[in-house]
Amino acid sequence: MNGAVLKSDPERYQLSNELHARPFPRLTAPCRAVFLAIRPDGAAERDHAVDRDHLIELLDRHGSSHPAQNAQHYAGELGRGSLKWESHTEFVTYTMFVPGVSEAPFSADSLALFPEDWLAGINGQIVSAAMVRIELAETAEAAEADFVDRMGEHFAPESLSTGFVVDREALVATDFRIHEDGLARILVYAMKGIGPRRLGRVVQRLLEIESYKSFALLSLPVARDIAGKVTELDKKLGEITDRADDPRVVLEALTDLAAEVESLSTQSAFRFGAAGAYEAIVHDRINVLREERLRGRQLYSEFMTRRFDPAMRTCRSAERRLKELSNRVARASDMLSTRVNVAVEAQNQALLESMDKRAAVQLRLQQTVEGLSVVAISYYAVSLGGYFLAPFAKLAGIDKSWTIAAVTPVVLCIVWMMVRKIRKSE
């Protein structure tokens, strides 16, 4: 930049480093891995400090280095293997990689890679756990033969999914089941010549499919519960709108129903939103594997289409029905509110007309009173004037009656003008 110093956004480097924050592991076959995905108990929020402390407890047992204070991921040596730790929005994952494979495939002691007392102190519950066995194969044909002759018996045949991936450089298999040791089983045959990074990417994507699939399915019980409640609330909405009660009473019932629907929406919004994101990640990870069929067996993508996708459609259906119910309640409330407003306006119109009539009566009464006031004031004024002018009229030889008759019109005009002036000044 010719020596010029450009001002950078404060988060520029942090955001750039985020793209490289979770590197894939470097793996060399044969090896094995145990994977755990953990979330807090029930609806509790994750405590990142507690998760980090639990990780440090495990690292201290092997004298390993600690992650940075606010780190969201960690990778390092742990005893004779290596550990990969990642902190996500909803859960935390631990993956232990160890060189070599046991003589007995998928032996029950795999979880022993993690100390038993440390596992007991986990902050939360395991949602997904898997054991990965990675074997080295000279050729794709050798991997296929070994799987058919020896390894296939360790999987449930009705849900077994297998196939070649990443240009036939690996053969993968799983049955998506939780076996007697509490772990799912994933088998990977790495062809001779596959690079450590590429093998690490394959294993990482298989584990992500397993974990994100499990977390996406957490929304299925919620969807079933929501579907039942939506049916009940839908029926309740019909009963409310059919009632012939006072519209204001019906509107109050609709308001209570809207509150129930909004509560359901609030409770399920995160779960449904997360399910959609996890579903997208699962399909993305399957697509990048570029599967090829093995002897007519079903692929990962086919299993997901038959088993996983219907569950996700159930979740989307429940979410859609809840939104539609909310919209119907809102429309019914708007229509009823309009009816109430029209009725109130009609009452207000009648009240205004009544007020107009009363005002007209009051005006006429006021005019009558004013007229009487003019007469009364004039009467007293003429009387006083008569008494005042009587002596002068007598001297002039004018009869008192004529004097009063002459004064009366003048007094009436003066009093009338004074009352009118007073009215105008108000």
- Residue-wise pLDDT for 12-46, tens only, equals 766 676 666 667 899 999 999 999 999 987 655 66
**Tell me, what's the pLDDT at 3?**
52
User: Which of 138, 146, 144, 280 shows the shortest CA–CA distance to 208?
Assistant: 280
How confident is the model over 322-347, as a mean pLDDT? Answer: 82
Q: Name the pairing type of β-strands 92-99 and 81-87.
A: antiparallel
Strand order in the sheet with 31-39: 73-78, 81-87, 92-99, 31-39, 125-137, 184-191, 170-174, 161-165, 292-293
**Tell me, what's the pLDDT at 221?**
95
Predicted confidence (pLDDT) per residue in 295-309, tens digit: 889 999 999 999 999
Distances (CA, A) of 400 to 99, 392, 396, 410, 419: 142, 10, 11, 16, 28
Name the average pLDDT for the chain: 86
**Tell me, what's the pLDDT at 224?**
95
**Tell me, what's the pLDDT at 254?**
87
3-state secondary structure of 36: strand
**Residues 184, 23 contacting (CB under 8 angstroms):** no
Sign (positive or negative) of CA dihedral 120, 122, 126, 129:
negative
Taking the CA atoms of the chain, what radius of gyration do you get in angstroms? 45
- Check whether 279 has a pLDDT greater than 80: yes
Backbone angles phi, psi at 402, to 5 degrees: -65, -35
Predicted confidence (pLDDT) per residue in 117-139, tens digit: 998 888 889 999 999 999 999 99
CA angle 389, 387, 374 (to 5 degrees): 100
- Check whether 240 has a pLDDT greater than 90: no
Q: Which CATH number applies to 219-350: 1.10.260, 1.20.58, 1.10.287, 1.10.10? A: 1.20.58
Q: Where are the domains of the chain?
A: 21-211, 219-350, 358-425
pLDDT band at 282 (very low <50, low <70, confident <90, very high): very high
Q: What percent of the chain has pLDDT over 90?
A: 50
Higher pLDDT, 392 or 254: 254
pLDDT band at 244 (very low <50, low <70, confident <90, very high): low
**Tell me, what's the pLDDT at 234?**
92
* β-sheet bridge partners, residue 77: 82
Cα separation, 201 vs 229, in Å, equals 43
Burial class from Cβ neighbours inside 10 Å (0-12, 13-18, 19+) for residue 381 reads: middle
**Tell me, what's the pLDDT at 6?**
66
Query: 0.85 cut: is pTM over it?
Result: no
How confident is the model over 60-72, as a mean pLDDT? Answer: 88
Burial class from Cβ neighbours inside 10 Å (0-12, 13-18, 19+) for residue 207 reads: buried
* β-sheet bridge partners, residue 197: none
**Tell me, what's the pLDDT at 44?**
52
Quick one: DSSP state of residue 30?
A: S
- Check whether 292 has a pLDDT greater than 90: yes
- Check whether 410 has a pLDDT greater than 70: yes
Q: What percent of the chain has pLDDT over 70?
A: 87
Higher pLDDT, 32 or 362: 32
State both tokens at 5.
């110093």
Cα separation, 424 vs 420, in Å, equals 6
Amino acid letter for position 418: M
Cα separation, 237 vs 230, in Å, equals 10
- Check whether 74 has a pLDDT greater than 70: yes
Burial class from Cβ neighbours inside 10 Å (0-12, 13-18, 19+) for residue 43 reads: exposed
3-state secondary structure of 221: helix
* Number of alpha carbons in the 13 Å side-chain half-sphere of residue 174: 25
Cα separation, 69 vs 92, in Å, equals 16
Distances (CA, A) of 198 to 202, 310, 343: 6, 32, 73
Distances (CA, A) of 20 to 15, 89, 252: 9, 18, 55
**Tell me, what's the pLDDT at 262?**
93
**Tell me, what's the pLDDT at 20?**
62
pLDDT band at 9 (very low <50, low <70, confident <90, very high): confident
Q: For the beta carbon of residue 33, count every other beta carbon within 10 angstroms.
A: 26
CB within 8 Å of 287: residues ≥ 6 apart: 301
pLDDT band at 370 (very low <50, low <70, confident <90, very high): low
**Tell me, what's the pLDDT at 320?**
95
**Tell me, what's the pLDDT at 93?**
95
**Tell me, what's the pLDDT at 122?**
87
**Residues 127, 181 contacting (CB under 8 angstroms):** no
How confident is the model over 196-215, as a mean pLDDT? Answer: 96
How confident is the model over 192-200, as a mean pLDDT? Answer: 94
How confident is the model over 197-204, as a mean pLDDT? Answer: 96
